[in-house]
Structure 1
């Protein structure tokens, strides 16, 4: 039994965080089981580059079905250069192999946006564990980074990212930015497909994603030796959508929770991204699309590396449920993306850097 499951005399429950709120799902078997997914759909994305709108609409139809029924899918033949992706994974392995003191120069506690290096067990999405068994590095939108060509305004004039300055780590920034730029370009194409899947004009979301909130989170998961450990606890994402490029391991580590409370493994597949809908799109679709619970448990005995790219609208964008998905008589709130994002950060980001004495433990921190 994993750290995210509990059992009573009559039922087994899986515990998770959904939309920042602790939840649980009963494990259903036999006649009680629901008709749900047991594998992620694979969708050929070569059509995303087609000049023919009917091709893109055909792709969007498949994407829409996956978003409604699963909330996750494989984007096969995505078109992002495989050499670039392989080079980025090589850079990840090289970065995480650096001495701890070199990585700690950019410790994420030094910034308000929690950007930079996160050490092992500092994150704790599942409170029943000793912490998330991973180390990571987070960067994101930052107008002061010249690589991003963003306008500097009073609200964006303060640096958000941290970059290492030790000579042994100078390769890291350009490597991450090559990946960042490729993923941002693909994400903007993906956004058009999502709009078509919702029966909206292809450019419907363009006006609120001129300067999107974005993150790359480079992650290293060592092999788990304790059954009670978890690489990252069960949760939903709170961006618009997430693209995950994961290293090729023989045994899958990423797992997605289906309606029966069973964990579905997400096998690493060549030339694919794992795409998942996150809380913003669930909200904007009035719950029509699924922001699906997932976790990482690296029990296969290998080192695992992952490069999720998180995409959201502009920080000052105001969004609500799209008009044709609203129910008659219901009232729908409008929310500012940056404000909602910060609230979720405050709920989801837990660290315990000062030990277990409770004096400063379990502090809610910002950053993703």
Structure 2
């Protein structure tokens, strides 16, 4: 995202690790735990989440389904080309997107929460962007739709829990953030494959995420980096079975720039 950057106020050199077991198994410790998470989000804007309860067998099955999707012939994936969706949902080939006016070397499938569609004449017009995803026929990739939907449902539940932790850590009512999103909350998902990139290029260039928070599942290959206030790119190493959590500009704005959407690539 372009615009003013509000960097963390300390030059972090690594990414903190947060165990969700501390929140779930120690009810009397929830307030200080939540405050520590908020401190990490204020100073770094990133953390690695472990002990989240999503089993590794399911994660492995999910990754296997993604690998099967990206291994399909281009003609099969083009059946759900993003350019044919009025809701900007679907598949994009490598080089289809730019970040900071530079090509992104990634192939991806964009999805979102699916609600009943608005009427074609709904106002304001931006409501019409909310619509169905594109899915391949079951005969092309059996089971893909089901396992991806299950993964997204689990991510939604985890996001709700993280919103509660952040609210408690900020001294708010536990459901303060969840109520902001109303009766049709939207989550956006990117299923991404990064091919080898040319020297000096990036899979996706430096940016901020625009939403509330991001839950990222890495697939064992490093490359993700976060920018600290000194201008150093800090590695966010993949941890088996863990999720990387980073904040978006929406949450930064809602907290008056106290919690930070850290630049990353």
TM-score with structure 1 length normalisation?
A: 0.65
Match of 1:123 in 2: 97
Contact 1:102/1:166 (CA < 8 Å) preserved in 2? no
Ranges in structure 2 where 5+ consecutive residues have no aligned partner? none
Contact 2:167/2:177 (CA < 8 Å) preserved in 1? yes
Contact 1:78/1:271 (CA < 8 Å) preserved in 2? no
Match of 2:234 in 1: 264
Answering whether residue 65 of structure 2 is matched by residue 65 of structure 1, we say no
Match of 1:5 in 2: none
In 2 relative to 1, CA 204–51 (structure 1 residues): closer, same or farther, beyond 3 Å? farther
Higher helix residue share: 2
Contact 1:255/1:265 (CA < 8 Å) preserved in 2? yes
Distance in 1 (CA, whole Å) between partners of 2:133 and 2:45 is 30
Pairwise mapping of residues 48-127 of structure 1 onto structure 2 (< 5 A)?
Answer: 48-50=23-25, 52=27, 54-127=28-101
Deviation at 1:79, TM superposition (A): 1.3
SS of residue in 1 equivalent to 2:252? helix
Structure 1 or 2, whichever has the larger Rg, is 1
Higher strand residue share: 1
Contact 1:84/1:178 (CA < 8 Å) preserved in 2? no
Identify the match of residue 253 of structure 1 among 197, 220, 223: 223
Match of 1:188 in 2: 160
Deviation at 1:23, TM superposition (A): 6.8
Contact 2:118/2:131 (CA < 8 Å) preserved in 1? no
Q: Number of residues paired by the alignment? A: 256
SS of residue in 2 equivalent to 1:180? helix
Distance in 2 (CA, whole Å) between partners of 1:197 and 1:258 is 23
Ranges in structure 1 where 5+ consecutive residues have no aligned partner? 1-16, 26-33, 145-151, 296-368
SS of residue in 2 equivalent to 1:294? coil
Distance in 2 (CA, whole Å) between partners of 1:92 and 1:120 is 16
Q: Deviations over 1:142-193 (max 9, x none)?
A: 214xxxxxxx654579743111126222432112101001111111111100
Match of 2:18 in 1: 43
TM-score with structure 2 length normalisation?
A: 0.90
Answering whether residue 194 of structure 2 is matched by residue 212 of structure 1, we say no
Match of 1:167 in 2: 139
In 2 relative to 1, CA 217–186 (structure 1 residues): closer, same or farther, beyond 3 Å? same
